[in-house]
Amino acid sequence: MISEIRLASERDIPDLCAIWQSAFEDPEDYIKYFYSENFKRILIPVYALDGKPVSMIHLMDAFFSDGEEDFPVRFIYAAATLPAYRSNGFMQTLILDAKRAAEENGYGLFLKPSPRLREFYAGLGFMEDSRFRVFRTAPEKPGTNGAACFPLSAEEYNRMRDSALGARPYVKWPDAHVKWCVDENDFCGGKTLAVELSGDSNRHYLTGYTAKSVLHVTETDLSPGQLRDAASALCGLFGADSMEVLFPEDASFEGETIVSSAVFNAPLRHTYANLLLF
């Protein structure tokens, strides 16, 4: 059996879909939508046997930015192996090859490790880097705050995001990635919005979706206090009873934290890593 590591081509997409569906719970229409929107902008190294992919990772270009300089990095996403070929080291080989390329070409790697794979990635040299701080709130009094919400394009969202986050280390994404995040959120029933609060001249951004009556805010520049004030309007708009929001780990409130990223060869540390597609 001939084995090789190579980049996937469009003819491999059916095999990639099969690997994805064997490892994750996403429906087939979502997986096909992912590749139709993203295949040409990302790299997909595969481990192939007799030409057929059996293991894969996805690499997406981004930057770690400190507001003054942007450092190239790649995000590792949707790493998976067909069940019949697991425990053969194929995934480890792909990750080690990605690490070698990163060191040789001077860029970093980062990923969102699932709890069950944290030890695996730690053993391959990835260090936990940053966390989200989780903020939860619910409307106290119906209709107490005026919050006007408008659809927001991916490009405008990204400009607002860069402006809001530029004073701290953060993951800076190209417009194409943010467009996918907005499209994916919409595909899954979410909304990406500009938010205007009464008494506040600033325009804010927010992206989120509702699951089991909870509004999950993936990202926003609204403060915890502003979210409390707007909870009634936002939960009403999203059809939710309460809200859960992910903030950078240094946010000024106490609360649960969860791992957001692990890094290798990273040019910055404690980098706010969001829009990670998880």
At 31, which CATH number? 3.40.630.30
Domain presence at residue 265: no
Beta pairing, strands 70-81 & 108-111: parallel
Domain presence at residue 266: no
Predicted model pTM: 0.94
Domain presence at residue 273: no
The helix or strand, by DSSP H or E, that contains position 114, with its residue range, turns out to be none
The predicted structure's pLDDT at residue 1? 87
Instruction: State the chain's maximal CA–CA distance in angstroms.
Output: 68
Which of 44, 76, 111 is the endpoint of a domain?
Answer: 111
Tokens of 165: 């986050």
Q: Look at the alpha carbons of 257, 159, 185, 34 in this order and tell me if their dihedral is positive or negative.
A: negative
**Each residue of 201-215: pLDDT tens digit?**
999 999 999 999 999
Same domain? 253 vs 138: yes
Residue 268 vs residues 64, 94, 243: alpha-carbon distances, Å: 7, 24, 31
Same domain? 24 vs 138: no
Question: Domain of 143?
Answer: 133-258
Given a cut of 70, the residues of the chain with pLDDT beneath it are 141-145, 278
CATH of the domain at 167: 3.40.630
Domain presence at residue 268: no
Same domain? 63 vs 168: no
Tokens of 169: 């280390």
Based on the structure, what is the number of domains in the chain? 2
Q: What angle do CA 202, 204, 210 make, to 5 degrees?
A: 150
Domain presence at residue 128: no
The answer to whether 113 and 126 are in contact (CB under 8 A) is: yes
The predicted structure's pLDDT at residue 145? 61
Domain presence at residue 123: no
Domain presence at residue 126: no
Helix (H, G, I), strand (E, B) or coil at 207: strand
Same domain? 45 vs 144: no
Domain presence at residue 31: yes
Which of 111, 141, 166 is the endpoint of a domain?
Answer: 111
Same domain? 88 vs 34: yes
The predicted structure's pLDDT at residue 67? 87
